Amino acid sequence: MVGASLFREHTQIVLSKEEVGDNRDFLEHNFMITIAEENDAVRLIGSPCEIPKVRTWLISQGFKVV
Protein backbone atom coordinates (compact mmCIF):
# COMPACT_ATOMS: atom_id res chain seq x y z
CA MET A 1 0.00 0.00 0.00
CA VAL A 2 1.24 3.49 -0.84
CA GLY A 3 1.77 5.87 2.07
CA ALA A 4 0.26 9.35 2.31
CA SER A 5 3.71 10.96 2.32
CA LEU A 6 4.25 9.85 -1.29
CA PHE A 7 1.11 11.70 -2.36
CA ARG A 8 2.09 14.83 -0.39
CA GLU A 9 5.46 14.93 -2.19
CA HIS A 10 3.61 15.14 -5.50
CA THR A 11 0.92 17.60 -4.45
CA GLN A 12 2.67 20.19 -2.31
CA ILE A 13 5.83 22.19 -1.75
CA VAL A 14 6.66 23.74 1.62
CA LEU A 15 8.80 26.89 1.77
CA SER A 16 9.40 29.54 4.39
CA LYS A 17 7.38 32.75 4.19
CA GLU A 18 10.63 34.64 3.61
CA GLU A 19 11.46 32.47 0.60
CA VAL A 20 8.10 33.02 -1.06
CA GLY A 21 8.11 36.74 -0.30
CA ASP A 22 7.02 38.86 -3.26
CA ASN A 23 6.54 35.82 -5.49
CA ARG A 24 3.25 34.84 -3.87
CA ASP A 25 1.09 36.91 -6.24
CA PHE A 26 2.96 35.56 -9.27
CA LEU A 27 2.50 31.97 -8.09
CA GLU A 28 -1.21 32.44 -7.38
CA HIS A 29 -1.88 34.06 -10.77
CA ASN A 30 0.24 31.79 -12.95
CA PHE A 31 -0.34 28.37 -11.43
CA MET A 32 -3.51 26.60 -10.32
CA ILE A 33 -2.45 26.19 -6.69
CA THR A 34 -3.65 26.99 -3.21
CA ILE A 35 -1.28 28.77 -0.86
CA ALA A 36 -1.74 27.99 2.82
CA GLU A 37 0.20 29.75 5.57
CA GLU A 38 1.29 27.80 8.63
CA ASN A 39 3.37 29.57 11.29
CA ASP A 40 6.58 30.50 9.43
CA ALA A 41 5.92 28.24 6.44
CA VAL A 42 3.93 28.49 3.24
CA ARG A 43 2.46 25.36 1.71
CA LEU A 44 1.93 25.41 -2.07
CA ILE A 45 -0.77 22.84 -2.78
CA GLY A 46 -1.80 21.65 -6.22
CA SER A 47 -2.48 18.70 -8.43
CA PRO A 48 0.22 16.15 -9.30
CA CYS A 49 0.27 17.80 -12.75
CA GLU A 50 0.64 21.37 -11.50
CA ILE A 51 3.19 20.96 -8.70
CA PRO A 52 6.01 19.85 -11.08
CA LYS A 53 5.45 23.06 -13.08
CA VAL A 54 5.66 25.12 -9.90
CA ARG A 55 8.79 23.22 -8.80
CA THR A 56 10.45 23.85 -12.19
CA TRP A 57 9.67 27.56 -12.03
CA LEU A 58 10.91 27.85 -8.44
CA ILE A 59 14.18 26.13 -9.32
CA SER A 60 14.63 28.41 -12.36
CA GLN A 61 14.30 31.37 -9.99
CA GLY A 62 16.98 30.07 -7.64
CA PHE A 63 14.80 28.48 -4.98
CA LYS A 64 16.16 25.37 -3.28
CA VAL A 65 13.30 22.91 -3.57
CA VAL A 66 13.69 19.45 -2.09
pLDDT tens digits for 39-65? 999 999 999 999 999 999 999 999 988
The pTM (predicted TM-score) of the whole model is 0.82
Model confidence over 21-43: pLDDT tens digits?
Answer: 999 999 999 999 999 999 999 99
Return d(Cα 65, Cα 47) in angstroms, integer.
Answer: 17
Sign of the four-CA dihedral 66, 35, 43, 41: positive
* Residue 3, pLDDT score: 58
